[in-house]
A and B are shown apart, each in its own frame.
Chain A
Amino acid sequence: MGQLFAVEVIYRGVFQKTLAKNITRGIVLAAHNEGKLGISFGRYSDAPERNGIPAKSFAIVANDEETLEAGMAQYEPKQVDVTVVLDDTLCKGAESWAWSGLQPVHRALKPGHTLIVISLDDAPALLKNIHRRKEPYKLGIVRGVTSFSGMWVYKDDHTDVRILGAIAKALPAVMSLESVEKFINEKLKNSLKVTTARNAFERFTTIGVKAGEGNPEEVVKVGLPRWEDMRCGVSIKGQGQGGPFADPVTGEVGGFRPVRNELFTKYSARTQRPVVNFATCTKCTLCWLNCPDGAFDITTAGTYDTNFEACSGCGICEEICPVKNCITMVNEDEFHDNNSQWAAFEKDKGAYLKWLEATIKKADPIKNRSHGFRYRGQYQEQVPEAMEIANKG
């Protein structure tokens, strides 16, 4: 038996589906230039994956046909040589299957191997979110803006070839830089992309992450229901009705807190979250009424407190809130828990408002954000800036 290599790419559903596919396809075709065989495929889920959800795409490469067949006999690689994370907010964890439970991003990574993350953050900031593990591994950061684009229009900001360059450095056994360059020249026919890939290769470095280093949080484990857990007629129990909201500080009862499905939370889809200024809230109901995820609890004071187990971070609340800066979407990186903002506000209003002011300063202005297509020409405007960051390295 020859050698078998596996690379997994973790990405944000339909926003990065084309990008992930381009990367895994590129690995296989570059390795093919060295006489290796390979296949790229996505994990089965909704087709296409719902936007924002953590999804996986794989490339497996082998020296010979027999080894490749042996590798393909597995449903998906259980152990991978390189894990690529295309959005750094995914470092908080990705779901195993159809959004059930939460897994560390390096779950399948072989000990001592490389985790590649696209980010503008440094390693200590990322390790606040990446869960600790028993075995050491290497962390390599490809400095760049997360590349999001939708189903029909692709944002070609060279992220694909930058990742290919980084993989060639991290795992030369699967493909050399020359093979990557040959693939780009022959298949993508873009000499600029060859330079980008070479730059990424030269700049890519890793740091060692020691055993036990990282986010100490225990990951959420949710078992899937078995047939014997179902009731007559293969039915399951519906959600009950909620009740009054009990204030976390005063103990006062009022407002309303709907029942939340405990077996199914949605937060790992989130790339940004609302930060609410309860002091300026006019209780107009719009955020609550228009939230597709029903993520708001109604507090005793009649304000709306986001439940961060339910919020998927779409940003509609910010868009429709009539009060300036009352709701601001802030990158998910800035947060390390899912605690209630109302509780923090009630506990110490001054401290909360101070925190709020500092936090919303970190938010990107809406015009700079890119979680998909907003207007024609937007990607063309964004690519030069993304390329500049990439070229600075």
Chain B
Amino acid sequence: MSTFVDEKPTQNLEPFKGVKKVPHEEYYTSGHRTCQGCESAQIMKLMAKAAGPRTIVLGSTGCMYVANTSYYATPWGVPWMHTQLGSSGSSALGAAAAFRVQMRKGVMKDEPINVIAFCGDGGGADMGLGAISATMCHPDYNLLILMYDNESYANTDIQISGASPYGVNTSFSTPGKVKRIMNHRWKKNMAPLMMVGHPTVKYVGTISTSYPLQAMNNVRKALSIGGPTFIHCLNPCPKGWDFDPVLSFELGELAVNTGIWPLYEIENGKLSLYGKTKDIANHKFKRLPVRDYLLKQGRFAHFIEEDIEFFQSKIDEMWDKWLVPGIIPLQREIEAE
């Protein structure tokens, strides 16, 4: 039976088998004015390396637009274009559709080209959510939307975004004497939202820059599988999170080891956890206390014991009570009572 979906072939990007096999070529090189220890720049580098030369990248407004393009400050070695803050979804879909037309008309060679649109957490989890959702409903087009998440609008002055964690100090949630916790919202659960809300999407996953090989291989898988795909990457941000840049790598690991940032991929509807997250789920690794992660960051410096305990209890709930631990925040009726 025909599905009437007009699929086009993708580049078949095999996973890199070990760090020694990672190609030397850089498609996002030096020449960007990002912060010292910027993990968002790191994921751009890994993403471009994983995608390879036959790729175009569209970037919505955010740090990775401003710091990578002001004047002649560009590190991009593949074609790159800016798109509006909320339009990473529509621009990716438009670019993929335009390629298809150009190829059909013979204007350009018919070959699979990777289309990647990236957005920050502000551009993706807040403003661009509608457009990304619409894009995820078009199975005919091959594209990847990568959301690099530094948990605030870090380019403009560290304001709260929908992806900011509970209680965090930002320009819009400065702790006060009367009210200590000014951001009482819980972080938006983007990857499951994309998967559960768009059942035909073939690949949704989370990555961390502290596991670079795995991150690159997941990008390669997302680009190879076909249709619209979505990846959510957590990027420690020395500027907005207020920590010594030397800790960038360690905080990425701690986010995973404390269970705050679960690593998983959902491939054709099949969920698989990977790395330390898998060990946590299988009880092979005991989650580290969230305190280890929180107290290394200036943005949580106002937390008192009570706040740390509350944060811990929410993470415990996520692992002990959720229907799919760490991922789907539903509880079975009998357990919820």
Contact = CB atoms under 8 A, between A and B. Distances in A.
| Chain A interface, >50% SS class | loop
A229 to B, nearest CB: 9
B246 interface: yes
B299 A152 contact: yes
Nearest to A319: B246
Contact of B73 (A259, A264, A293): A264
A270 B36 CA distance: 8
A260 interface: yes
A240 B77 contact: yes
Nearest to B174: A152
Contacts of B75: 239, 261, 294
Nearest to B30: A310
Given A152-B169, A289-B19, A239 B29 contact: yes
Contacts of A149: 298
Given A314-B36, A316-B37, A100 B71 contact: yes
A318 interface: yes
Interface in B214-273: 238-240, 242-250
A376 B242 contact: no
B74 A151 contact: no
A240 B66 CA distance: 21
B166 interface: no
Contact of B72 (A225, A315, A329): A225
Interface stretch (B38-46, B116-124, B322-330): B38-46
A262 to B, nearest CB: 8
A153 B242 CA distance: 8
A241 B71 contact: no
Given A46-B66, A50-B35, A315-B37, A295 B242 contact: no
B243 A150 contact: yes
Interface string A347-386: 0000000000000000000100111111110000000000
A312 B245 CA distance: 11
Interface residues of A, number: 70
A377 to B, nearest CB: 9
B108 interface: no
Contact of A261 (B41, B73, B78, B80): B73
Given A152-B242, A238-B74, A369-B244, A295 B30 contact: yes
Query: Which secondary structure dominates where chain B touches chain A?
Result: loop
A14 interface: yes
B158 interface: yes
Interface in B270-322: 295-299, 301
Interface string B1-40: 0000000000000000001101011111111111111110
B203 interface: no
Given A289-B19, A371-B246, A242 B66 contact: no
Nearest to A298: B24
Contacts of B238: 51, 150, 314, 372
Contacts of B25: 241-242, 256, 258
A140 B295 CA distance: 38
A66 to B, nearest CB: 34
Contact of B157 (A48, A256, A260): A48
B158 A294 contact: no
Given A314-B36, A376-B301, A151 B26 contact: no
A261 B29 contact: yes
A91 interface: no
Q: Which of B33, B45, B79 has the most CB of A within 10 A?
A: B33
A338 to B, nearest CB: 13
Contacts of A261: 29-31, 72-75
B29 A150 contact: no
A307 B33 contact: no
Nearest to B21: A285
Given A50-B34, A261-B74, A290-B42, A151 B298 contact: yes
B141 interface: no
Interface string A15-51: 0000000000000000000000000000000111011
A64 interface: no
B58 to A, nearest CB: 14
Given A152-B301, A258-B30, A50 B246 contact: no
A50 B67 contact: yes
A99 B74 contact: no
Contacts of A309: 30
A258 B45 CA distance: 12
Nearest to A284: B19
Contact of B29 (A236, A290, A294, A375): A294
Contacts of B249: 290, 316, 319-320
Nearest to A233: B81
A324 B26 CA distance: 28
Interface string A292-328: 1111001000000001011011111011100000000
Give 7 closest A-B pairs by Cβ, nearest first: A261-B31, A310-B30, A150-B242, A314-B37, A256-B24, A372-B244, A315-B246
20 contacts: A13-B239, A14-B239, A46-B66, A50-B67, A51-B35, A52-B245, A153-B301, A238-B76, A255-B24, A263-B73, A265-B31, A270-B36, A284-B19, A289-B213, A292-B37, A316-B37, A316-B249, A319-B250, A373-B297, A376-B295
Interface of B: 19-20, 22, 24-39, 41-42, 45, 53, 66-67, 70-80, 155-158, 169, 209, 212-213, 238-240, 242-250, 295-299, 301
Given A151-B242, A241-B53, A294-B28, 15 more contacts: A47-B156, A153-B298, A224-B72, A238-B80, A263-B73, A284-B19, A289-B213, A290-B209, A294-B29, A312-B35, A314-B245, A314-B246, A315-B244, A371-B36, A373-B296
